[in-house]
Amino acid sequence: MLKEILLQVEKPARYIGNEINMIIKKPEDTDIRFAFCFPDVYEVGMSHLGLQILYYFLNRREDTYCERVFAPWQDMEEKMRERHMPLFALETGDELKKFDFVGFTLQYEMSYTNVVNMLDLAGIPIWSKDRREEDPIIIAGGPCAYNPEPLADIVDMFYIGEGEVSYDELLDIYKENKKKGGTKNDFYEKALGVKGIYIPKYYDVEYNENGTIRSFMPNNEKAPSVIEKVIVKDMDSVFYPDKQMVPLIETVHDRVTLEVFRGCIRGCRFCQAGFVYRPVREKSTGRLTELADRLIENSGHEEISLISLSTGDYRGFKELAEKLTEKYARDNINISLPSLRIDAFSLELMEKVQAVRKSGLTFAPEAGTQRLRDVINKGITEKEILDGCKLAFDGGWTRVKLYFMTGLPTETDEDLMGIVHLSNAIVDKFFEIPKEERKGRPISVTVSSACFVPKPFTPFQWVAQSTVDEFRRKQRYVKTNINRKQVKYNYHEPELSSLEGVMARGDRRCAKLIVRAWELGARFDSWSELFNYDAWLQAFEDTGLSMEFYANRERSYDEILPWDHISIGIGKKFFIDEMERAKKGQITPNCRRQCAHCGAASFGGGVCFE
């Protein structure tokens, strides 16, 4: 039957597993079955480093079999529902109900309807309270779990922090409890003592009349009032897989990925990742080169990607880059360096490692004027960008991509005009090259503007997000003012960003909204061809919740925020200070320049002790 279905869907290999380096175990020889669910399509999920790490991390335990599950694409869902075929894991093809844990990784807010859909396709009750003893335990982690509340009535337990730290303890407790014949509740109560674990049902929320939170209290004496994130202290000794699953079909990134460090020293005020992964913790160059060799050997990939939030900030970057280029350039192995700052060194390097691909260079000024860049603490100047472009043009690059955001706090039309000016200045830079040297190559500048979404655990967590109409006006304003034919303007859908804004700072009541939108057909919201805004608008209406309340409302510093019971090691005081500095346009130096005493030093490692 499966064959018949698979012959009728797009890219059937999404559903067969069987990749190189897939782990094969006999489920009956293990004690714990863990279904690792990525709530998006196969090609996206398989390109995700966290999945690869946790897959091998969990499978390194003999008593645990971790398998993978992805969101079936529309055509497959249709066939599955027609035939009442439950959602299955790729490794064994077994349905999710047979698993002890069903774990979701929450990488972006707009995947929440897929979480609901996957539970439903698996025949597992959507609401935590409706689940029975024999249903799997639903656990979720990943960056969006830092504000777990929108999914708090759906997910049984959240894991706050990096997977390598507490999973062993959690699984040991589970196994022992299962052996002793303990119930799920017995397990939950014991799990309350594990660092980084948040179990929503042990907390009660009360609301004020105006809709804000009045109180958030544990209802079980073992439940900690604040759940602290757990992070790896020493990146060299922590587990890292020496192989990666190699998909049988083309995915978003067909390459091995080497994680250079976690965290970011920069402190851009809009960036959640920059704060929740603090402090910066690096791997040593020696460890990285050793891992690189093994990964390439075990995967057969012809590309290796060095990733982190800002790879150029790695202290051993020069050494590492030179070592790897020397080693691999001859071997037809490409080195890809996303998130690099453009300067003379990095250009020279790119020239070496990506000889044939003089495609595009990317800059992320994020804001159009120096004033606004200071507000968001994006430490890049117009001069740096123009100098970088000049170098790039001299080196033969002719395509420049610029990333901006609209709707940033304190933004005015002048800042929006700044986007236009900067793009024009880049075009002018190009035409400064004497005509003979340009050799008829055309220049193109692509300006991409995203809609700013205020995120929890950033200094901007209190600000009002622009409304859909405001975003539209701003985009039109930039668009109308772009008057050079070499400049192309792209922008994100403000409707999607607004919903993201709702989910990012949502509270427990938002689950109703997610489930309602799903009932009305919302799935794969981050895929523009499937995004169904009308379903969401209807869901707001049906649930009586308001987009304005969650997205477009400015909060006061003393309001209880839905995620206040989660701690990332950085106190509210620091964020308030940062917000105030932002308003005054004062920048805060990066961690290596001068420590801002954010609080993350309490984790006892990383950049704070360099």
Give me the least distance between CB of 60 and another protein, in Å please.
21
Examine residue 591 and tell whether it contacts ligand SF4 (CB under 6 A).
yes
Identify which range of 148-156, 307-315, 478-486, 588-596 contacts ligand SF4 by CB under 6 A. Answer: 588-596
Of 192, 194, 197, residue with least CA distance to 219? 192
Residues 326-355, one symbol each (x = binds another protein by CB under 8 A, - = not), give ------x-----------------------
Task: Show contacts with another protein in window 482-521 (CB under 8 A).
Answer: none
Binding residue count for ligand SF4, defined by CB under 6 A: 11
Q: How far apart are CA 451 and CA 475, in angstroms?
A: 9
The residue with tokens 């079909």 is 249
**Closer residue to ligand SF4 in complex, CB, 265/426:** 265
Q: Which does 290 bind (CB under 5 to 8 A by kind): another protein, ligand SF4, none?
A: none
Q: Which does 302 bind (CB under 5 to 8 A by kind): another protein, ligand SF4, none?
A: another protein
Which amino acid is residue 222, in one-letter code?
K
**Closer residue to ligand SF4 in complex, CB, 194/568:** 568
Identify which range of 106-114, 147-155, 246-254, 423-431 contacts another protein by CB under 8 A. Answer: 246-254
- The count of other CB atoms within 10 Å of the CB of residue 504 is 26
Q: Which does 212 bind (CB under 5 to 8 A by kind): another protein, ligand SF4, none?
A: none
Q: Which does 6 bind (CB under 5 to 8 A by kind): ligand SF4, another protein, none?
A: another protein
- The count of other CB atoms within 10 Å of the CB of residue 427 is 17
Of 474, 385, 477, residue with least CA distance to 422? 385
Q: How far apart are CA 398 and CA 429, in angstroms?
A: 11
For 23-71, the DSSP string reads: ----GGG-SEEEEEEESS-HHHHTT-HHHHHHHHHHHTSTTEEEEEEEP
Structure tokens at 12: 């059937």
The residue with tokens 């982690």 is 141
Structure tokens at 417: 């005009």
Using CB atoms within 10 Å of the CB of residue 131, give its burial: 0 to 12 exposed, 13 to 18 middle, 19+ buried. middle
Examine residue 568 and tell whether it contacts ligand SF4 (CB under 6 A).
no
Give me the least distance between CB of 198 and ligand SF4, in Å please.
23
Task: Show contacts with ligand SF4 in window 251-310 (CB under 6 A).
Answer: 278-279
| SS3 assignment for 67-107 | EEEECCCHHHHHHHHHCCCCCECCCCCCEHHHCCEEEEECC
**Closer residue to another protein in complex, CB, 22/587:** 22
Q: Which does 356 bind (CB under 5 to 8 A by kind): ligand SF4, another protein, none?
A: another protein
Distances (CA, A) of 208 to 299, 303, 414, 441, 574: 55, 54, 39, 62, 27
Examine residue 608 and tell whether it contacts ligand SF4 (CB under 6 A).
yes
Q: Which does 17 bind (CB under 5 to 8 A by kind): another protein, ligand SF4, none?
A: another protein
Q: How far apart are CA 36 and CA 38, in angstroms?
A: 7
In the set 480, 596, 604, 605, which binds ligand SF4 (CB under 6 A)?
Answer: 596
Whether a cis peptide bond, with omega within 30° of 0, leads into 454 is: no
Give me the least distance between CB of 107 and ligand SF4, in Å please.
23
In the set 7, 225, 432, 529, which binds another protein (CB under 8 A)?
Answer: 7
Which amino acid is residue 387, in one-letter code?
D
In the set 4, 29, 221, 469, which binds another protein (CB under 8 A)?
Answer: 4
Give me the least distance between CB of 286 and ligand SF4, in Å please.
24
Please report how the helices 494-504 and 533-543 are oriented relative to each other, as an axis angle in degrees rounded to 10: 40
**Closer residue to another protein in complex, CB, 117/299:** 299
In the set 22, 49, 386, 596, which binds another protein (CB under 8 A)?
Answer: 22
Of 383, 308, 376, residue with least CA distance to 588? 376
**Closer residue to another protein in complex, CB, 19/382:** 19
**Closer residue to another protein in complex, CB, 206/250:** 250
**Closer residue to another protein in complex, CB, 177/299:** 299
Task: Show contacts with another protein in window 289-328 (CB under 8 A).
Answer: 297-302
SS3 content of the chain, % helix, strand, coil (to 5): 40, 15, 45
Examine residue 241 and tell whether it contacts ligand SF4 (CB under 6 A).
no
Q: Which does 607 bind (CB under 5 to 8 A by kind): another protein, ligand SF4, none?
A: ligand SF4
Distances (CA, A) of 565 to 29, 469, 531, 599: 39, 33, 32, 16
Give me the least distance between CB of 495 and ligand SF4, in Å please.
35
Examine residue 356 and tell whether it contacts another protein (CB under 8 A).
yes
First to last CA, the chain: 59
Examine residue 597 and tell whether it contacts ligand SF4 (CB under 6 A).
yes
In the set 428, 600, 604, 605, which binds ligand SF4 (CB under 6 A)?
Answer: 600
> What is the tally of helices (H) and strands (E) in the chain?
21, 19
Give me the least distance between CB of 79 and ligand SF4, in Å please.
49
**Closer residue to ligand SF4 in complex, CB, 83/597:** 597
Please report which residue ranges of 329-381 form alpha helices under DSSP H. 344-353, 370-375
Please report which residue ranges of 150-282 form alpha helices under DSSP H. 163-179, 184-191, 272-276
In the set 23, 249, 273, 417, which binds another protein (CB under 8 A)?
Answer: 249
In the three-class reduction of DSSP (H, G, I as helix; E, B as strand; rest coil), residue 362 is classed as strand
Examine residue 68 and tell whether it contacts another protein (CB under 8 A).
no
Q: Which does 249 bind (CB under 5 to 8 A by kind): another protein, ligand SF4, none?
A: another protein
Assess contact for 179 and 598: CB atoms under 8 A: no
Q: How far apart are CA 595 and CA 106, in angstroms?
A: 30
Site residues for another protein per CB under 8 A = 3-4, 6-8, 12-13, 16-20, 22, 246, 248-250, 254, 297-302, 332, 356
Site residues for ligand SF4 per CB under 6 A = 278-279, 591, 595-598, 600-601, 607-608
